[in-house]
Amino acid sequence: MKFNYKLHRLCGSSYGTPNATNSASSSEGGNIVYTSSGNVLLSPVSNRIQVIDLLSHTVRTLTCEARSNIKTIALSPDDRLLIIIDTENHAMLVNFHRSVVLHRFTFKRNVRVCKFSPCGLYFAVTYGNHVQVWYSPGLRREFAPFVLHRTYTGLGDMVVSIEWSSDSSVIMASCRSGTARIWTVETVDGYEPFTLSGHKSCVVGAYFEKIPPGSDGRLRKVYTVSSDGALVSWTCTYSDESTDDESKKDFMKASNEALNFFGANVVNDLFSSKLTTENQDGQLSQAEHLPKGKWTVTARHYFHQDTDVTATNFSTDNNLLIVGFASGIFGLYELPSMSNVHTLSLSNQVIRTVAINDTGEWLAFGCPSTQQLLVWEWRSETYIIKQRGHAYGMRCMAYSNDGIVVATGGEDGSIKLWNTSSGFCYCTLKSHTAPVTACVFSNSSVVLSSSLDGTVRAHDLNRYRNFRTYTSPTPCQFTSLAVDPSGEVVVAGTMDPFHIYTWSMQSGKLLDILTGHVGPISEVQFHPTRGTLASASWDGTVKIWDLYKREGEPENLKHAQDVVCCAFRPDGKQLVTGTIGGLLIVWNVEDGKVICEIDGRRDISGGRKINDRMTSDNNSASRYFTSVCYSADGSCLLAGGNSKYICIYEVSQQILVKKFQISFNRSLDGILDELNSKNLADGGPIDINDNSGDEADYSANLPGARRGDDGSRKSRVEVMTAQVAFSSTGREWAAVSNEGLHVYSLDDDMIFDPVSLTEEITPGAVRANIRNGNFGVALLISLHLNEFTLVREVLEDIPYGSIPHVVKAVGPEHLERLMQFLSKCMLDSPHLEFYLQFCLEMLRIHGIHMEKHRSSYMRAFRSMHRSVQIHHDELKRLCDDNRYTLEVVEDQTQLALSMNVSEETS
């Protein structure tokens, strides 16, 4: 069995910090960023980055982790460098394409915003009430890649936004005191930084207007937006521009447009060349023009919403302003006319970040309090992505039988279905009124869930509805759930009165109540092949029930401590149980004897909580496994509990094979093994994240209060694993933690193909391999060349008997392309049986892989199905048209045979 599992993706939240962490920055969230192509969205989740491909509708998680929850990110214009800054002002320089950390750096003051210049040579950060501009580092590892260019001052309060001019020579920043300030990146003689003060509240965003082509390259307009819903338009007038010159240029521009309309290209070229010569003679940067400029207010506009503005963004190329409000409404406005293009209510919570891609088509919004990420296409008025996590954290999960779907239950009483290949939630079932404690698949189309509301509900995954509800005679809270292998019996354990209830899946009637435990039922598990049931309880026993015979007392497996989890091996010959002492005990199911014991207390020990009075080495008493499961082959155990570690054990040798740390996020409690003594006082720990001045941006103070403190207190949540489970394929497993659903997989996205390194990729090499009988190599080389005629030539030269061997030589990286070529060749080829055999062998050999990654091959599947369907319809039509002709021929043949027989007998 392979053990090189790596984190593939983090499901459960697409933006923000899960509310289970309850950190001080959970209401803030980071900013979301589009790549230069506009098709990929980067979204911070806790201390990780989710990379969402909007075209293929997939999500992946970068392998690098920040030290704590992410506050802001910035992507370079060429998409090579990514800067990540967390809530503790620790920065990471990451190679975005390789997800490799190049450098780490710590800022001494609070950093709220980071942004690259359009040229990519600089990046700017807010440094408290200052702005710092740094030189952009390279991709090579250096000792000190961060080099400070200059620090800009003059603002009286915390800086909240940064904006660059189009040529990266001017930078503008706004602050909470209601002002914005404009600096030049390099020193310009005679220029003093200008302050734009025209607002009564915090300036949320300040933006430069696009400089039209053919102009002299001077900054003309600036827009500033404040939190009270006011937009101020500023215009810069230059002293060296006379009215005569302006009127002359306007006349020449109007003349050019008129001549273009009537087709006078020759004269138009003369006018254009004259203007171009004048601009090139005195070509200056935007910063060098500013000493002669003066900024004045030209217009004021208001959004007329009864709430504060919390997020803004501006598309310079399209002159579109996107405004997000605290009530969950967003507005799209066209500047400078300030006409309202679109207004929509997305949520009932605060919109904290807004992004727009370069084409101006897709708008992205983030609501951190609900972990909601939305991508809206405003022209067609449709959602591209609408994702939302569990409101109060995730509690349980279950894999479907084919491993394609994962069902998760949350503290909010909802059940979400996740596609393991794409990483997105495609359905949310809201039928419970209390936290969901367990969920399990009966078959691929039915999922059951138990809840603290006293019900067990069955959901139909075809119609996405609750079609049956199971209840108990007396109200009780269900803590565990199981379904027998045939899907006919449903079993649930309770917190009190320590009973186990069994129902019929079809009729919903209560069949039996199993009594005997004297403590809450922690878990119930059915035998994989028999009708026996194992129930673990806090009373220190595991009982084995035979639900069909019900003769005599159940078999008791006694433990020295409370039992919190249990699991059968896939073949049903072994049962593993976990106790609060950190022991994993493996039992023989046939005779009820102990096979071995694995002491895992020291394996999962580690991590000191902020309120602990002892070190992590001496605090292993409270560490134990709360969830355990067998691998697909039954040789290993996967166990997780109230610790930051998940362990994999080899059962026969009783050894620890590998240990995974699910998170390095210091915003969670129990991550560090040693606490910093400077953060500990006599009265207890000091909250180092208590930045009340930074976090209470838009909160109203209490009347008569001298400080902005409403009395609310937040505590860190301990890192732990609620449940672990292996997929049926054995190539991935998942764990539920406070941060969401961690999916670890053996499948690597980077596929290495050695053919291009060892073979000469030419048509001559293809034909040479065909002559030598190396049909598999010839097909791979032709697929690399991607020429249809060459691929068709290779396919039709392959002998019919060699098709299975050739298909085996094709790797998963070439399957989709080969399916497309087969579909295209099949359309007009007379060799129908030959190509159908190719399709059949591909499904036989690579069917499991394609079923697991069905979303990646869906387009090729449709193309192949269409080709086969066309030939099927043609053959059916041909047979129907010639049906009577064939019957006549058959009857004539039978008649001729009978006449021959009669003549011979006579």
CA distances 126 to 29, 73, 150, 153, 705, Å, are 17, 12, 12, 11, 30
Helix axes 854-881, 883-905, angle to 10 degrees: 50
pLDDT digits (tens, 9 = 90+) for 183-234: 999 999 889 999 999 899 999 999 999 887 767 778 999 999 999 999 999 9
b/e for 200-227, b at 16 or more Cβ within 10 A?
ebbbbbbbbbbbeeeebbbbbbbbbbbb
Report angle CA 427, 431, 433 to the nearest 5 degrees: 130
DSSP summary character for residue 220? -
CA–CA dist 40, 384 (Å, integer): 12
CA–CA dist 177, 111 (Å, integer): 17
Report the pLDDT value the prediction gives residue 758, as an integer from 0 to 100. Answer: 54
Report the pLDDT value the prediction gives residue 265, as an integer from 0 to 100. Answer: 43
The answer to whether the beta carbons of residues 628 and 578 sit under 8 Å apart is yes
pLDDT digits (tens, 9 = 90+) for 629-647: 999 888 999 999 989 999 9
- What DSSP letter does each residue of 333-400 carry, written as one string? EETTTTEEEEEEE--SS---EEEE-TTS-EEEEEETTTTEEEEEETTTTEEEEEEE--TT-EEEEEE-
- What DSSP letter does each residue of 265-285 carry, written as one string? HHHHHHHHHHHHHHHHHT---
133-137 own/partner pairs: CB under 8 Å, 24+ apart: 133/171, 133/185, 136/76, 136/81, 137/81, 137/93, 137/102, 137/103
- In 696-830, where does DSSP find H-type helix? 755-758, 763-771, 775-785, 788-797, 803-809, 815-827
The answer to whether the beta carbons of residues 891 and 884 sit under 8 Å apart is no
Which H helix or E strand runs over 892? helix 883-905
At which residue do the structure tokens 């058959």 appear? 890
The answer to whether the beta carbons of residues 351 and 325 sit under 8 Å apart is yes
Q: Give Cβ neighbours of residue 81 (< 8 Å, ≥ 6 apart).
A: 75, 93, 94, 95, 96, 102, 116, 136, 137, 139
CA–CA dist 799, 794 (Å, integer): 10
The answer to whether the beta carbons of residues 537 and 578 sit under 8 Å apart is no
DSSP summary character for residue 844? H
Report the pLDDT value the prediction gives residue 714, as an integer from 0 to 100. Answer: 57
Report the pLDDT value the prediction gives residue 629, as an integer from 0 to 100. Answer: 95
3-state SS, 195-219, equals: EEECCCCCEEEEEECCCCCCCCCCC
Q: Which of 451, 456, 450 has its CA nearest to residue 469? A: 456
Report angle CA 26, 117, 93 to the nearest 5 degrees: 55
Report the pLDDT value the prediction gives residue 672, as an integer from 0 to 100. Answer: 84
Which residues does the chain have with pLDDT short of 50?
20-27, 259, 261-281, 688-701, 708-710, 749-752, 757
Does a cis peptide bond (omega within 30 degrees of 0) precede residue 212? Answer: no
Q: How many CB atoms lie within 10 A of CB 709?
A: 14
Q: What's the helix, strand, coil split of the chain in %, to 5?
A: 20, 40, 40
What's the whole-model pTM score?
0.78
Write out the two tokens for 123: 């990046």
Report the pLDDT value the prediction gives residue 273, as an integer from 0 to 100. Answer: 38
Report the pLDDT value the prediction gives residue 257, as an integer from 0 to 100. Answer: 60
Report the pLDDT value the prediction gives residue 256, as an integer from 0 to 100. Answer: 58
CA–CA dist 27, 21 (Å, integer): 11
Write out the two tokens for 41: 């969205």
Write out the two tokens for 881: 């048209």
The answer to whether the beta carbons of residues 174 and 206 sit under 8 Å apart is yes
State how beta strands 221-226 and 203-208 pair: antiparallel
Write out the two tokens for 119: 């040229």
In sign, the C-alpha dihedral spanning 86, 43, 128, 153 is: positive
**By CB neighbour count within 10 A (0-12 exposed, 13-18 middle, 19+ buried), where does 112 fall?**
buried
Helix axes 763-771, 788-797, angle to 10 degrees: 0
Q: Which of 237, 236, 223, 117 has its CA nearest to residue 166? A: 117
The answer to whether the beta carbons of residues 398 and 406 sit under 8 Å apart is yes
Report the pLDDT value the prediction gives residue 548, as an integer from 0 to 100. Answer: 81
Report the pLDDT value the prediction gives residue 271, as an integer from 0 to 100. Answer: 34
Report angle CA 187, 191, 196 to the nearest 5 degrees: 115
The answer to whether the beta carbons of residues 350 and 366 sit under 8 Å apart is no
